[in-house]
Structure 1
Amino acid sequence: MDAALLSPDLSDRIAGLSWADIARELDAHGCAILPQLLPEAACGAVANWYDEPARFRSTVVMGRHGFGRGEYRYFAYPLPDPVAELRTALYPPLAQIANRWNGELGLPVRYPETHGDFLARCHAAGQARPTPLLLRYGVGDYNCLHQDLYGEHVFPLQVAILLSEPGRDFEGGEFVLTEQRPRMQSRVEVAPLRQGDAVIFPVSHRPIAGARGVYRVNLRHGVSRLRAGLRHTLGVIFHDAA
């Protein structure tokens, strides 16, 4: 049933994207948008999972922890087929970008070619709890700027897919990315997402070429205050949690 939510050629479509252009967007702006990664029907079906608690291992009420306002739920293993397929298909091209970034920053960590091999690395280190999540925001809800770090092994890129349609389902609730540059003021990027669009962005840092060579900048992401309606997002994180 879940597998039918995605088109049968999703993995092929992801592999066939212009990853050179996507890499250039990430290098230049710190994020890249994949338009209409999920069709409208799939977005609605995935959003409705939020009301099926058996799919999830835990629920976080953001206000209780100072994270903002709203809720999110972490999926349990085994992941629903669409979520597992997105993780598996998106990882290989992102691993190439991640390995290049680490090389530019002089970091020794290299990521294997397949997501299964990377998960094996996480699980061997005790990071075995799944991290893909479903987020729900109502009126007045927001997500403070943060980084999704769950243990020693961190994959440096992640993906968020907007499941609701701005202007129809909700108002406000923009995806925000901030970049803290050394000895400079922070830079803000707002991703103009529509329903089904995915945004790729760094978990915590990325390289930037400067006058004196490549240097590292830290990033945080969040969601601005929702002014009306209901907003759902699917978060695809590639490392598991301790």
Structure 2
Amino acid sequence: MPTYPKIKPTYNLQFPIRVPDDVLVELGEFTGNFWSDSLAQEPFVIEAIRNYINPPPPPAQEPAATTEMGYQWKQVFLPEGTRLRASFGRAPYFATVVGAEIKYEGHTVSPSCFANLHGSGNRNAWKAIWLRLPGSNEWLLADVCRSARKAAIARLHEGGAQADSRPAEGERAPAPQQPSARHLPASQTWPRPAAGPSSAPATHDKGDLRKSGTGRSARRRKRRAAKQMPGNP
């Protein structure tokens, strides 16, 4: 079934609308036309009404430029724009990381100096300063940030050590080495196998062979044995 474009109906409505005197005067000053010149003021009034009904879209926000500037406080890095907060007598005071420095009322201060701007001067900055990083709405105690950073560094080192101990691709893991007897105490030395029937036969020197099967004495024993046999004289 064919569809047809919708045709907006045309109206020829004329109805006076009251405009306050001060608005008419301001509109005339803005457009440069006299306030009573309705024909000259009409296009401006129509444009204002249409812009009110269909406001133009807001301009696209450009992403915030990333920066590598900031203040390095021991293990914790404070990017530029980080807010610092401390308090004395329940009255808070603030500082901001600008560039690579911490600024308080235009003066460059260290974390310890900022934490002890008021009071006796012996407060621990890690436990007295709260931090709010750029893009975050939460305030975190500086000591909590330091603990989290230390834990992250420890995990990073553990992961690197495990990666170094793993064999490379295509290589076999080395077999565990057995301790040698000289590195073990006397009570833990490995037992030696006992000699049994499967052990190699003992060797004899030449002198033993001559005594058992060769020589003059052997021939005499053979003759005596032959005479003792029945049938020999």
Answer yes or no: same fold by TM over 0.5. Answer: no
Question: What TM-score, normalized by structure 2, do the two folds share?
Answer: 0.20
Structure 1 or 2: more strand by fraction: 1
Structure 1 or 2: more helix by fraction: 2
Q: Which has the bigger relative contact order, CA under 8 A and spacing at least 6?
A: 1
Question: What TM-score, normalized by structure 1, do the two folds share?
Answer: 0.19
Q: Who wins on radius of gyration, i.e. which is larger? A: 2
